[in-house]
Amino acid sequence: QVQLVESGGGLVPPGGSLTLSCVPSGRIFSIYDMGWYRQAPGRQRELVASISRRGMTTYADTVKGRFTISRDSAKNTLYLEMNNVKPEDTAVYYCHADPDEAAVSTHGLVEVWGQGTLVTVPS
């Protein structure tokens, strides 16, 4: 089974920058869409950014222009670069892997979640 390990969370002042990393246990980028979600206390988990198997990226309106999702195949790592962070960015951030339809049908693959990493931006 695929496992995802996130790292890079911590305390960062408003306006600062932080980069989160996610390392899958295998080389999965060709068969899984990847994404970053976040969940703040008392709020529903929300999609922050995603990158498809084909490289298409999407962003939540709240982070557009400030965050960048990317992947490095050589390092087998997914990144979320967070710039100009705000207190409302405070949340636990989760890496997510979503298998393509063919992989689900042929091999029975399922979505995978990381354990989460906490990002705190004080006000």
CB-based contacts of 48, cutoff 8 Å, min separation 6: 35, 36, 37, 38, 59, 60, 63, 67, 80, 93
User: Average pLDDT, whole number, for the chain?
Assistant: 95
Question: What single letter denotes the amino acid at residue 109?
Answer: L
Question: What does the pLDDT look like over 63-91, one tens digit per residue?
Answer: 999 999 999 999 999 999 999 999 999 99
pLDDT at 27: 87
Helix (H) or strand (E) holding 49: strand 46-51
Q: Which of 3, 9, 67, 57 is nearest to 33 (CA)?
A: 57
Please report, in tens digits, the pLDDT of each residue of the chain (123 residues total): 899 999 999 999 999 999 999 999 988 898 899 999 999 999 999 999 999 999 999 999 999 999 999 999 999 999 999 999 999 999 999 999 999 888 888 888 899 999 999 999 999
